[in-house]
Amino acid sequence: MTNDLLSSYTLPNGVTLKNRIIMAPMTNFSSNDDGTVSEAEVNYYSRRSHGVSMVITACTYVTPDGKGFPGEFGADNDAMIPSLKKLADGIKKQGAKAILQIFHGGRMCPADLVPNEDVVSASNIPASGEGNPVPRPLTENEIEEIIHAFGETTRRAIEAGFDGVEIHGANGYLIQQFFSPHSNRREDRFGGSLEKRMTFPLAVVEKVTETVKKHATVPFIVGYRFSPEEAETPGITMDETLQLVNTLADKELDYLHVSLNDYNSKPRRGVGDLDKSRLEYLLEMINNRIPLIGVGSIYSAEDAEKAFATGVPLLALGRELIMDPDWVEKLEAGKEEEIITELNTNRQQELVIPDPLWNIITNTPGWFPGID
């Protein structure tokens, strides 16, 4: 099984990945104040790019009003291309494919991070929880501008030397907000029925793939990340996600990437058998039309082998690669027992973790094994 994890894999566009292990996208809060990539960030990615086949960066915003986190790097204008190039080069020099995750935070953006505190979304429904801003519904013209911005950011990724982009349609951000009946109460062409709620996500996919055809001179990877369900009612159900995935599987994408806390998690509602895992449902629906990346609470080699045994062709490791950047090399060397699966709080320098990320990790009990 270990050999299978280390075997190469060819994506639909012909790009071959050297193994099945990918670094999952994780926010690191460590960019410069002007939105450029910091040296600490480049070093952090570079340290984790020599074993995995592909690194998906933290998300970058496509418009100034899409900035979702303090210390998030930008890709919203051409002046950012040299900064993006530093990041792409830092990853590629270590032998991994560099994928830029592109996003707009929508109603999840903190008001103080966006121009004029103008937080926008599909509708004027705030995110669940206390104190979240009431967003302003986007006009149709503004929606078209954001779709265009996803294309422009893809062009910048190509010019900066990235190997691909991942469209961030997961984790409650703007693309998911349009798909969700909780956040999207529109009655125009962008809202209402399930098909209409897919309009914006599919328009972004189309714009990104068109941009690649126009500007890329070598095969360029395009992926799409999604979250399977929402807790809210109304909210996205497993059944609705399966219909979205069915549609996406026939688009010109190179992979789909499911966002899960645990690869083995079961559906909440919307399907007949709640004992079958979400991954099983997704793999059945996709039916080998497009590769699916599975993720979620994969720490040890044994965890990875169990997740891989579900039939998912690619695995993304997130927290695990922060705790042990040499995970893949240990697997290759047959030293699985040396893989570190708890965070050692004395090893920040050795692990090359920037201060802002380190401070959040060590002050968030339960997020990482070893932090109580």
Residues with catalytic roles = 173
Which residues are registered as beta bridge partners of 98? 55
CA–CA distance, 225 with 322 (Å, rounded to integer): 21
Q: Three-state DSSP class for 288?
A: coil
Look-up of token digits 């900064």? 83
- DSSP codes, 192-237: SSHHHHTHHHHHHHHHHHHHHHHH-SS--EEEEEE-S--SSSS---
Q: Which residues contact 355 (CB under 8 A, 6 or more apart)?
A: 30, 40
Q: State the CB neighbour count (10 A cutoff) for residue 40.
A: 17
- Cβ atoms of 341 and 368 within 8 Å: the answer is no
Q: State the CB neighbour count (10 A cutoff) for residue 82.
A: 12
Q: State the CB neighbour count (10 A cutoff) for residue 188.
A: 12
- Cβ atoms of 23 and 316 within 8 Å: the answer is yes
